[in-house]
Amino acid sequence: MPFAMPEHKLQILCTRPVDESRIEEANQKDILLDVLPFIETEAIQTIEVQQEIEWASVQEAVVVFTSMNAVEAVTEMLDGHIPEWRIFCMGFKTKELITTYFGAEAIAGTADNADELANEIIEQEDPEEVIFFCGNQRRDELPGKLEKHRITVNEIVVYETLAVEHSVEKEYDAVLFFSPSAVESFFKKNKLIARTIVFAIGNTTAKTVAKFCSNKVIISKLPGKDELVTQALDYFSKNH
């Protein structure tokens, strides 16, 4: 009599690093969560960027962060100095990092996406100018909307996003994408089979996925990266 084969686990590919606890949580639900990053970020540590951050640090300014990578790059350069900034940000992790370094009282407003964050800045402050710490592949929504309202956006590019290309051999039940850059990097060498469900961190990421495939896309209910993992695990727990 042949041995019974073990039941096939659902397999999900997460395209950014996650805590080991999330992998274990997936395992408990009989889901294999593979982690394979398709982008990496690197702080730009040039004299020019350092001088721009030093200039910004002595301004009483309205400052914008839309990613944790920008916060990490800037606070590294500030080296303990806390400027008098009114900070607007999006994303749970970004807000958490800002609170830890600058204090909760420095946060003037938050939002779940760039468009809403621009509205917050316009409604609350309507400043003449803002300082926007960003990466080299930042999206246009926020600066575009502010500039339409005649708010000058002083962009300081403090990190760069680099594609990390991999060829994926497995056929996954789901793939999790957290940025348009990761989507573009993934599809340089890979295709998705028709049954693979895509989970995307937001509308911009979802639209980028749609350029490469017609697979089902589920957009995150909340902006946090951990929340997208939770949403995918819950989806398969309920639907299988």
pLDDT grade, residue 204 (50/70/90)? confident
- Give the C-alpha separation, 132 to 65, whole Å: 6
Tell me how far apart the 2 most distant CA atoms of the chain are, in Å: 79
**pLDDT at site 215:** 98
**pLDDT at site 228:** 93
**pLDDT at site 238:** 76
pLDDT in tens, 92-130: 889 999 999 999 999 999 998 889 999 999 999 989 999
Judge contact between 201 and 220, C-beta under 8 A. yes
Judge contact between 110 and 90, C-beta under 8 A. yes
What's the chain's Rg over C-alpha atoms?
20
Q: In the chain, what percentage of residues exceed pLDDT 70?
A: 96
The domain segmentation of the chain, as residue ranges, is 10-33+165-210+223-239, 42-161
**pLDDT at site 4:** 40
- The DSSP line for the chain is -PPPPPPPPEEEEESS---HHHHHHHHHTTEEEEE--SEEEEE---HHHHHHHHHHHTS-EEEEE--HHHHHHHHHHHTT----EEEEEESHHHHHHHHHHH-GGGEEEEESSHHHHHHHHHHHT--SEEEEEEETT--SHHHHHHHHTT-EEEEEEEEEEEE------S--SEEEE-SHHHHHHHHTT----TTPEEEESSHHHHHHHHHH----EEE-SSS-HHHHHHHHHHHHHHH-
Judge whether 10-33+165-210+223-239 and 42-161 match in fold. Answer: yes
> What is the CATH architecture assignment of 42-161?
3-Layer(aba) Sandwich (3.40)
Give the mean pLDDT of 145-159.
97
> What is the CATH architecture assignment of 10-33+165-210+223-239?
3-Layer(aba) Sandwich (3.40)
